[in-house]
Amino acid sequence: MSVLPLELLPESSFVGEDGRLQIGGRDVVELAEEFGTPLFVYDEQQLRDRCREAMAAFPGGVAYATKAFLCGAMAQLAVEEGLNLDVSTGGELHVALAAGAPPDRLVFHGNNKSARELEMAVESGVGRIVIDSLAEIDRLEAVLADQDAEADVLIRVNPGVVAHTHEYLQTGVADSKFGVSIEGGVAADAVVRVNDSPRMSLVGIHAHVGSQVFDVESFGRLVDSLAGFVGPLGLPELSIGGGLGVAYVEGESAPSITEWGALVHSAIATSGLEAKVTVEPGRAIVAQAAITLYTVGTIKEIPGVRTYVSVDGGMSDNPRPVLYGSGYEVFVPRATDRDRDLEVRVVGKHCESGDVLVWSGRVTRDLGLGDVLATPVTGAYGHTMGSNYNMVLRPPVVFVRDGEAREVVRREAYEDLTTRDTVIQRVRPELSS
Ligand code: LLP
């Protein structure tokens, strides 16, 4: 027996006496009827509140990591709330600019930026370029010379710090493709080479320990390990990246952004560093603000084994369970307050046994075909990591607030699947959207 832990739901959630869930003043089952399923539903006020919390906790500056969730509405919201945007590819850069983000509020990341991506960044006038390798210094120098331009840069260093998280999500360990390592002197070389450049101004150092980090002490260790290298440089900025974790399932708890800020500032004070500290949270801003809605299509009880509930989405809208073995909760929004007394595995519609959304979840026993099912905490790295596997259409995104729902990304249409196919376009031009 277990009732869904309400703290995993978006903050504007309200469960009526009939047990039906509302978010942002909208009945969730009605949203599924209006917009169809699968559907991402974001609590807009919560997105804004997390942005404001981050700005208050890190007055030195916050760049929202767009890889966690990006669309025009999200880019605009973060900019309106005073955040900068961290983009890590030409694609993220393009979307952020297309959404109207001021170029000087963009921070451009990436461990293998192409010359074309660097050209885009320089042409558009991004505020900061974060250098990730020695080779990139030469590549950027050439682009700047070509465009007769200058750039403010940070150097991403590898601090050699182990953060407690999934192996794929650690980035600050010695054996990593990211950054230039302090140990062995590569980072010091990078500083000399950037300082020698007439077109680059070195404004700071950047480091990122990893993602989904629950133990804020990892950030304290990061600051400690950077202090000896960063202090003598006397640069104005220090970015400690993102990575703060969030609770996904019952029993987990994560530090708040405010607690993260307090720990980082105290570590900075102890270290004696004087640089302005900036951060790049993604997940902590968006993850808990959203739920995903699905419709149940098939229920198979395999006697003595388990019950499989198949829904109309799957690894194409949330690959995290398959990629990292991540756990999620599941519930039935028409009966949010009811005991979840049936154990199930929630699976998608893809032709793969690994297509699992919830390995072991609990739902109310009267779950039936056609019911709307929801997974909470899907606001980060779901929509952005989605795919068209099996030519499944990508879901729409709806922002809800004060009783209003606005569709900010429409559902993909079958025509979208053939617009880039040059053969089909030639023989069936009427199929282009
Ligand atoms: N800054 C840098 C340089 C990063 O590489 C990342 C994440 C962030 C900031 C934001 O991290 P966050 O605050 O969101 O943890 N796909 C994985 C997460 C990969 C994160 C990659 N870098 C997942 O679904 O858990």
Q: Give 3's pLDDT tier (boundaries 50, 70, 90).
A: confident
The answer on pLDDT for 409 being more than 90 is yes
* Residues 77-85, mean pLDDT to the nearest whole number: 98
Which atom of ligand 1 lies nearest, measured to the CA of 323? 24
Q: Give 176's pLDDT tier (boundaries 50, 70, 90).
A: confident
Task: Quote the CA–CA distance of 80 and 99 in Å, as a whole number.
Answer: 12
Burial bucket for residue 25 (CB in 10 Å: 0-12, 13-18, 19+): middle
The dihedral through the CA atoms of 169, 171, 174, 175 has a sign that is positive
Task: Quote the CA–CA distance of 378 and 315 in Å, as a whole number.
Answer: 12
Task: List the domains of the chain with CATH numbers.
Answer: 6-42+289-418 (2.40.37.10), 44-286 (3.20.20.10)
- Which ranges constitute the DSSP H helices of 150-291? 186-196, 217-230, 257-271, 283-286
For residue 172, the model assigns a pLDDT of 63
Q: Distance from the CA of 243 to the center of ligand 1, in angstroms?
A: 6
Atom 8 of ligand 1, residue of closest alpha carbon: 242
Q: Distance from the CA of 303 to the center of ligand 1, in angstroms?
A: 41
10 Å Cβ neighbour count for 221?
A: 18
For residue 301, the surrounding DSSP H or E stretch is: strand 290-302
Q: Distance from the CA of 279 to the center of ligand 1, in angstroms?
A: 12
| Active-site position among 351, 370, 403, 420 | 351
Which atom of ligand 1 lies nearest, measured to the CA of 241? 1
The answer on pLDDT for 171 being more than 80 is no
Which atom of ligand 1 lies nearest, measured to the CA of 156? 3
Strands (E) located in 14-111: 14-15, 21-23, 26-27, 39-43, 63-65, 84-87, 106-108
Would the CB of 241 count as within 6 Å of ligand 1? yes
Query: pLDDT tens-digit profile of 90-146?
Result: 999 999 999 999 999 999 999 999 999 999 999 999 999 999 999 999 999 999 999
Query: pLDDT tens-digit profile of 342-391?
Result: 999 999 999 999 999 999 999 999 999 999 999 999 999 999 999 999 99
71 is a catalytic site residue: no
Q: Please name the residues in contact with 111: beta carbons below 8 A apart, sequence gap of 6 or more.
A: 132, 133, 177, 178, 179
